[in-house]
Amino acid sequence: MNPDKLMIPLTQVLTRHREQILPMLGGKANGNARALLGNDAAMRTLATYSYALLPGLVRLTLKEPVFVDFVMTHRDQILERLLVQ
């Protein structure tokens, strides 16, 4: 799987729903979100929430467990995209 191809729709979800995602994780852009995203449970929550918001064609192509593994593997890039706004 090419991470760049999946990162595009994920970045769109993170950008569009940033205001809902950060409070759900208990963080703020300059607060403790960085520590929380280092937590596996918080990352899985983010992955599950984000998966439901992906375009339908992406969800048909990519099953949720694969997406969750992708998010866990690329957590640093996701953190950067979530906090840099």
> In angstroms, rounded to a whole number, what is the distance separating the alpha carbons of residues 53 and 47?
10
Angle at 40 between CA 62 and CA 36, to 5 degrees: 115
Kindly report the pTM of this predicted structure. Answer: 0.76
Q: What pLDDT sits at residue 1?
A: 61
pLDDT tens digits, 9-51: 888 888 888 888 777 666 555 555 566 666 888 888 888 988 9
Domain residue limits, the chain = 3-83
Contact of 59 with 51, CB cutoff 8 Å: yes
